[in-house]
Amino acid sequence: MLRKDKVIICQLIGGLGNQMFQYVFYKYLSLVKNIELELDLSGFGTHIIHNGYGLNSVFGIEENIAPLTRILKYKSKSSLFFKIENKFLLNT
């Protein structure tokens, strides 16, 4: 039974190979720690990288997608990346 009080958020970015590596690593952590896994696909909405998110279409992998509110809660609010991304995400 998965612990619902905690969640691991996996930020996927890059091409299909990078997505596979990131997903498998975080899926392993999720299984070992018995914690729910959610995917952060927010990077694909703001950056045109390779062919976008591909784990679902290529491998049929279906995971919960982390809500934007949860993603923003855990990103470092002092980072330049956060400030720029937050400005554009909230204005779209």
Domain boundaries, the chain: 3-67
Range in 4-8, 50-54, 63-67, 73-77 with the lowest mean pLDDT: 73-77
How would you write the chain as a 3-class SS string? CCEEEEEEEEECCCCHHHHHHHHHHHHHHHHHHCEEEEEECHHHHHCCCCCCCCHHHHHCCCCEECCHHHHHHHCCCCCHHHHHHHHHHHCC
3-47 pLDDT, tens per residue?
667 888 888 888 999 999 999 999 999 999 999 999 998 888 766
